[in-house]
C-alpha cells in the first residue's frame, strides 16, 4: 500500500471512529433522556374526601368566588414513553399541600391553616402530544418530623393501559430545601434532575416537567 493510500486509510478510519463515538454518545444521551421517571412513595395524604371539582385550575374552587392564597404558578408537562414517543390520554392524577404546607386531608396533623379556595387535587388527561397543563400554587414546605422540613413538591400518579403505573413526586428548581430533603437525597444526582421541574426562561411563574412511563 502506498504512503498516500495508507494516509487515506488511516484518515478514513479516524473519521469513522469519531463518527461511531459520536453516535454512541448520542445513543447514551437519548437513553438518559428517556429513562423512566424515578418513582416515589405515594405518601399518607392522597385525597380521600370526595370532591366534584378536580379540573386543571387548582387556584379556584367551583362555586366559590375567591382565589387560592400564595404564589400562583403554571405547570406545563408531557407524558412520554421510554422511546421518546408521546403518550396520549394518560390519566394524570396530582395532589399537593397548599401555600401554607397543609394538605386537604382529614389526617394531616400540620396546624397550618386550610385554604377554602384551594382545590388541592386535580385529574387531567394528556393530549395527543402527551401534553398536560395545570394552574396551581407553589406548595409550602411542611414538617415531616421534628427535624425534617419537606421541600415543596407535588405528588403525581400517572396511569395508562399498556404502561406501568407511575407514582412519583415533582420538585422545583431553585428551592434551598432540595439540598436537605431526605426523600430527594435518597436518589442519585441524575435521578434528582429528572424529578425537578425547570423554570421556563422569561416565564418565572411557569415550570416544565416531563414524565416518562415504562411499557408493561
Cite the active site residues: 103, 142, 150, 153, 155
The set of residues, in sequence order, having a beta carbon less than 8 Å from that of 32 and lying 6+ positions away, is: 190
* 32, 193 Cβ separation under 8 angstroms: no
CA distance 190 to 32: 9
- Tracing cell 428548581 back to the chain, one arrives at 173
196-200 and 166-172 strand pairing: parallel
CA distance 154 to 141: 11
Q: What DSSP state is assigned to residue 49?
A: S
What is the DSSP code string of 53-118? --SSBTTS-TT-----SS-EEEEEEEEEETTS-B-TT-EEEEE---TTS--SSTT----SPP-TT-
Q: Which run of H or of E encompasses 21?
A: helix 3-33
CA distance 161 to 38: 19
Amino acid at each position: 500500500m502506498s504512503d498516500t493510500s495508507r494516509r487515506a486509510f488511516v484518515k478514513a478510519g479516524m473519521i469513522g471512529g469519531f463518527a461511531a463515538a459520536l453516535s454512541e454518545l448520542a445513543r447514551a444521551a437519548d437513553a438518559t433522556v428517556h429513562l423512566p421517571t424515578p418513582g416515589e412513595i405515594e405518601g399518607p395524604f392522597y385525597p380521600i374526601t370526595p370532591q366534584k371539582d378536580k379540573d386543571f385550575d387548582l387556584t379556584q374552587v367551583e362555586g366559590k368566588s375567591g382565589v387560592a392564597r400564595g404564589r400562583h404558578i403554571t405547570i406545563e408537562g408531557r407524558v412520554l414513553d421510554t422511546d421518546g414517543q408521546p403518550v396520549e390520554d394518560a390519566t394524570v392524577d396530582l395532589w399537593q399541600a397548599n401555600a401554607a404546607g397543609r394538605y386537604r386531608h382529614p389526617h394531616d396533623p400540620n396546624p397550618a391553616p386550610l385554604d377554602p379556595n384551594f382545590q388541592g387535587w386535580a385529574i387531567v388527561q394528556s393530549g395527543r402530544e402527551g401534553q398536560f397543563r395545570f394552574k396551581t400554587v407553589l406548595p409550602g414546605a411542611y414538617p415531616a418530623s421534628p427535624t425534617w422540613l419537606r421541600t415543596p413538591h407535588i405528588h403525581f400518579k400517572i396511569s395508562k393501559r399498556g404502561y406501568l403505573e407511575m407514582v412519583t413526586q415533582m420538585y422545583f428548581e431553585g428551592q434551598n430545601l432540595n439540598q436537605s430533603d431526605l426523600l430527594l437525597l435518597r436518589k442519585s444526582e441524575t435521578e434528582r434532575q429528572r424529578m425537578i421541574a425547570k423554570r421556563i426562561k422569561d416565564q418565572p411563574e411557569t415550570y416544565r416537567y416531563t414524565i416518562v412511563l415504562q411499557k408493561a
